[in-house]
Amino acid sequence: MRDLDEDALLARIFPHLPRGASTLVPPGDDAAVVAAPDGRFAVTTDVLVEDRHFRRRWSGGFDVGVRAAVQNLADVAAMGARPTSLVVSLVVPGDLPAQWVEDLARGFGAMCAPLEVGVVGGDLSGGPVVVVAVTAHGDLEGREPVLRGGARDGDVVAHAGVRGRSAAGWALLEEGRADVAPDLVAGYLRPSSPLALGPAAARVGATAMIDVSDGLVRDAGRIGRASGVVLDLVGPSAYGADVAALAAAATALGRDAGDWVMTGGEDHGLLATFPQGRALPEGFRVVGRVRAGEPGVVVEGRAWTGSAGWDHFG
Amino acid sequence: MRDLDEDALLARIFPHLPRGASTLVPPGDDAAVVAAPDGRFAVTTDVLVEDRHFRRRWSGGFDVGVRAAVQNLADVAAMGARPTSLVVSLVVPGDLPAQWVEDLARGFGAMCAPLEVGVVGGDLSGGPVVVVAVTAHGDLEGREPVLRGGARDGDVVAHAGVRGRSAAGWALLEEGRADVAPDLVAGYLRPSSPLALGPAAARVGATAMIDVSDGLVRDAGRIGRASGVVLDLVGPSAYGADVAALAAAATALGRDAGDWVMTGGEDHGLLATFPQGRALPEGFRVVGRVRAGEPGVVVEGRAWTGSAGWDHFG
C-alpha cells in the first residue's frame, strides 16, 4: 500500500468490479446512475469494522468482500427486492497489502457478477483499521415491499438458508479449532444467502420477511414485535440435520449445537411469514406458526432461555 | 457512549433525522424504499475519517454532519440531479460523547431537512476512530445526467459557489490563527454548496459539470480530460472579491490568496460548461472558455504552477 498511490490501487480494483445490468452511468463521474424501472428503489447500508466484525488473521480480503456484499444484498432481498447495485466506502491502513484490497474487490465481484449487480461507486481513504461500508439497492419489480410488520395470526413461519453454521465456524476460529470443521469455518468467513428467494417469497405473498443476521430467535422476535403477534418456532429437536452438521464442532468445543441453530447470527438466511396453505418457494421450510398474543417470539410455546444472539456494538 | 447501548443512542439520533419527501418506507426495516419517479437514480458515496478528513479538536459533531452531507449532496447535484435521500454508516470510539453523535445527527438534519432529503438508513459500529460513510441519491427529473465528458470547443466555463474559503479556513486552524477570520474557518468546518444550481444548470443545457472538491484547477482538468478539450480558466487577478475576502488570512499566514482561490479544495462549488450564448442560472459566473487542444486545464493560456490541490489519500 505504501508503494501505491490511490490511482494505482484503483487500477487494480476496478477490473474485478462488475458493471451490472442496471447501471446506466458507471463509476468515474461525480455519481453513477442506476435504473429503477419500478419507480422506487430499496436501499440499505451496513458497515464492517476490523477487529469488530472480522479479524484479518482469519479473514482474507476475498472473505470480507463476500461477507460485506452478502449481508447487504440479503437486506435488499428481505424486502422482496431484486438487488441491482451497491457502492463501497473503504478505509485501509497504510500497511495493508495492496493484494488484500484487490482480493476484497474480487470478493465483491464474485458475489455481484452472477447476480448482475453492479458495483457502481466507491470511496477510498486511509485510516487505522479496515472499514468496509456498503450501501446496496434493489428493484421491487412492481411488488409491494415485504416489511417486518405484516405477519398475521394463523400465518406459517418459514426459513430459507443455513442455520448456525456461521456461529459454529466463528467459535471454532475463536478456539483455534478450525481443523474440526473447515466447512463451518467457511460458512462464517463467506456466508451464502438464498438471495433469489426474497423476490420469490414476495411473489407468492409473503406477509413479513427479515434477513436473519442476529439469529433465528432474535430476528423472529423482531417480526413478532413489528407485527403485534407471536411467532411460535419449532425447537432445536426439529432441526436434526442442522444439529448433526454442527455436532462435531459442538462436541469439540463443549457447546450446544441446538443453541447455535436457534440463536447463531450472520447466516443471512431469510425468515418469512406466509398465509396458511400457500405453496412456499422451494428452499423455504416451515419452522413455526404465527398466533395472537404478547408480541414477540416463543420456542415450542415458551420463552427461549438460550443465548440472546449477537450484538456487535459496545 | 460507554453508558449507552446502541438502542439508547439511536433513540437520541432519530429525532434529528428528516424523513424526506421521497421516502416511501422509512428506516427500521431491512431496507428503506425511496421514490425514483424518473425510473433512474443517481448515487454516490464518500467517507470521512477522523484525523484524515477532520480533527475532533476542530470539528464538532454538527460540523462533521454538515460536511459529510454537503460533500455527498454536491456530487448528486453535479450530475444535474435533485438530492432525495442518503444513508449513513457510522463508526464511533467508545469514549466519544453521546452528545457528539447527537450533534452529528443534527448536522445531517440541518442540511437535509430544508431540501426535503430523507436520511433513510444507517448502521452504527464501534471502532478506534470516527468514520462517517455516506451514500446519497438523487432524482434526474427526466433530464439526462450531466457528465464530465460533455464539454465542447467554444463552450463557456462557469462556476457557482465560494472559492478558496475552505482551504484558507483550514490553514488558519492548522496554524492556530482561527481568530484572524472566523468566517473562513466556518467555511472549512461547514461548507455550503449551491445545490439547487446543479439541476438549474442541467435545465439550461450544461454540457459538463463537476463538484469542486479538489480545487478549481484540478477539477477543471478532470472535465478537460474527460471531454478531450482544454478548459482555459481566468487567473486569480480576475477574482478580486474572492482574493480580498482571503487577504487577511493570507497576510497573517504568509500565504497567497490567489493560490487558495485557484486550488483550494472542499468548497463544493459547481464547475460547469455551457454552450456559448446560453443564459446562465443566477449564481454562476463565467470563469473561462473551452477550446480544442491537449486535454486538460490551463490558466490564462498556461499550465498552472501553483499547488496541485488536495489529496487525502496516503
What is the domain partition of chain B in residue ranges? 6-139, 148-299
Given a cut of 50, whether residue B25 has pLDDT beyond it is yes
Summarize the confidence of residues B204-229 as an average pLDDT. 97
To the question of whether residue A242 is assigned a binding role by annotation, the answer is: no
DSSP readout, B96-133?
S-HHHHHHHHHHHHHHHGGGT-EEEEEEEEE-SS-EEE
Collapse the DSSP code of B40 into the 3-class scheme (helix H, G, I; strand E, B; otherwise coil) and give the result.
strand
A-chain residue closest to B134, CA distance: A89
Q: Which residues of B are annotated as a binding site?
A: 30, 44-46, 53, 75, 122-123, 148, 211, 213-214, 266, 310
Q: How far apart are alpha carbons A260 and A255 in whole angstroms?
A: 9
Rounded to a whole number of angstroms, the distance from the CA of B111 to the nearest CA of chain A is 19
To the question of whether residue A211 is assigned a binding role by annotation, the answer is: yes
Buried b (16+ CB within 10 A) or exposed e, A258-289: bbbbbbbbbbbbbbbbbeeeeebbebbeebbb
User: What is the pLDDT at residue A10?
Assistant: 87
Given a cut of 90, whether residue B305 has pLDDT beyond it is no
| Residue B4's pLDDT band (cuts 50, 70, 90) | low
| Terminal Cα distance for chain A, rounded | 30
Of A123, A126, A128, the CB nearest to B46: A123
Q: Do B121 and A45 touch (CB under 8 A)?
A: yes
List chain A residues with CB under 8 Å of B147: 25, 29
Summarize the confidence of residues A46-57 as an average pLDDT. 96
Q: Do B36 and A41 touch (CB under 8 A)?
A: yes
Given a cut of 50, whether residue B158 has pLDDT beyond it is yes
User: What is the pLDDT at residue A233?
Assistant: 98
User: What is the pLDDT at residue B309?
Assistant: 45
Q: How far apart are alpha carbons A181 and A184 in whole angstroms?
A: 6
Q: How far apart are alpha carbons A177 and A248 in whole angstroms?
A: 11
User: What is the pLDDT at residue A52?
Assistant: 95
Looking at every residue in chain A, the average pLDDT score rounds to 95
A-chain residue closest to B271, CA distance: A30
User: What is the pLDDT at residue B153?
Assistant: 98
User: What is the pLDDT at residue A309?
Assistant: 44
Per-residue pLDDT tens for B52-89? Answer: 999 999 999 999 999 999 999 999 999 999 999 999 99
Given a cut of 50, whether residue A308 has pLDDT beyond it is no
| Residue B308's pLDDT band (cuts 50, 70, 90) | very low
CA distances B196 to A268, B73, B151, Å, are 40, 10, 21
Pick the CATH number of A148-299 from 3.90.220.20, 3.90.650.10, 3.40.50.10480, 3.50.50.60: 3.90.650.10
Summarize the confidence of residues B139-163 as an average pLDDT. 98
User: Per CATH, the architecture of A6-139 is what?
Assistant: 2-Layer Sandwich (3.30)
Given a cut of 80, whether residue B312 has pLDDT beyond it is no
Given a cut of 60, whether residue B311 has pLDDT beyond it is no
List chain B residues with CB under 8 Å of A43: 31-34, 85, 87, 120-121, 135, 137
Q: Do A30 and B89 touch (CB under 8 A)?
A: no
> Left, alpha or beta for A93 (phi > 0: left; psi -120 to 50: alpha)?
beta
Nearest to A94 by CA among A65, A50, A128: A128
